Amino acid sequence: MSCCQPQRTPSGETAASESEEVAAGSRRVAHDEVALPGGEFLMGDAFGEGYGPDGEGPVHAVVLAPFRIDATTVTNDMFAAFAAATGYRTEAERFGTSAVFHLAVAADPRDVLGRAPSAPWWLEVRGADWAHPGGPGSDLAGLGDHPVVHVSHNDALAYCRWAGRRLPTEAEFEYASRGGHAGLRYPWGDELTPGGEHRANIWNGTFPARNTLADGYLTTCPVRGFPPNDLGLYETSGNVWEWCADWFSPTYYRASPKHDPQGPEHGTARVTRGGSYLCHESYCNRYRVAARTANTPDSSTGNCGFRTVAL
């Protein structure tokens, strides 16, 4: 839906069916949860900084029931436990390719199959998947506590069924990201780097050619790489985009229900939230708490993961 996340090019192949075979079961890995009381909050962009096609307004009151949400995104170690227990193969593995940022590619040039037309910094790499985030020449050594990436919305749902959990709604994600505060631009306040301190893993430098690594990372960081917000959630801004349960519509806020909104009944793309290590004010100022975008459910990239909510 945006230059932040390239869509998978339809190929006529259907990979989603395998995810339906993963049965719900008892939780197999520990999820560090934060219990949130719910209640009323104001959802949407109060600063007028959003992108028109994203539909970040109008600001509207939402009331949520209490819920329990992961303090962090699902990690590579957690997803590896799921894959080992079930034999599940992600859509990137079945399609044979996924999208990798050009400075993170670890593959033979013959495995680089093309560039995203609207975002040429994204390369389609053969053999890129959750266990090989840069391509066939990469692995997960030292990345066990980093967020799993190259997972589609369908893959995230498959994990949730196995773990006996679900994805957060978009409203739940924004409520949790706001950290119990009203009207903030970021989870920690209105300044991006208060006192010069980096609070999120985003792009620093000139996008997309030069990253100064001022925050310490070119791609993902550990899921507790930066301080949590005041509700105890980590990296709800930056690091990786996170799949939400909702279908996406840029006009949904105009008529969404006040109590526990679930998103439109139908759609072609699912909401992603939080921004990623590639977000930069020059082209993708979507690490704000009100920011939203979306992607097709079978798409996977090197900068998108997910966290879960208890049933």
CB neighbours of 189 closer than 8 A, spacing ≥ 6? none
> Using CA atoms, how far apart are residues 147 and 66, in angstroms rounded to an integer?
25
The pLDDT assigned to 19 comes to: 44
Mean pLDDT computed over every residue of the chain: 94
3-class DSSP state for residue 42? strand
Q: Output the CA torsion 235→70→38→177 (10° steps).
A: 10
Q: Is the pLDDT of residue 4 over 80?
A: no
Nearest to 219 by CA among 135, 296, 94: 135
Q: What percent of the chain has pLDDT over 70?
A: 93
The pLDDT assigned to 8 comes to: 76
Which range (8-17, 126-135, 152-161, 179-188) has the least confidence? 8-17
CATH 3.90.1580.10 fits 32-75+146-310, yes or no: yes
Q: Which amino acid is at 251?
A: T
Is pTM beyond 0.85 here?
Answer: yes
